[in-house]
C-alpha cells in the first residue's frame, strides 16, 4: 500500500497531524475510517 509507505517516511510530528485528520474522517464516516485505523496500528507495531 502506498499510504503505509508514505506514513513510514513521514516524521513523528506529521504522523500525529495525520492521526488527527483520520479522527475527523472517522466522525464523517466510520466505514471509510476503519481501514485507515488498521493501517495506522500496523505502522505503529512496526516502529
Which of 32, 29, 38 has its CA nearest to residue 4? 38
Cα separation, 47 vs 40, in Å, equals 11
pTM: 0.30
Collapsing DSSP states into helix, strand and coil, what is residue 34? Answer: helix
Dihedral sign (CA 39, 17, 3, 5): negative
Q: Are 36 and 22 in contact (CB under 8 A)?
A: yes
pLDDT on residue 24:
74
pLDDT tens, position by position, 1-47: 577 676 666 666 677 788 888 777 766 665 555 677 777 777 788 77
Domain ranges of the chain: 2-46
Amino acid at each position: 500500500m502506498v499510504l503505509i509507505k508514505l506514513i513510514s517516511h513521514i516524521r513523528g510530528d506529521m504522523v500525529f497531524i495525520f492521526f488527527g485528520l483520520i479522527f475527523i474522517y472517522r466522525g464523517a464516516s466510520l466505514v471509510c475510517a476503519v481501514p485507515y485505523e488498521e493501517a495506522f496500528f500496523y505502522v505503529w507495531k512496526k516502529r
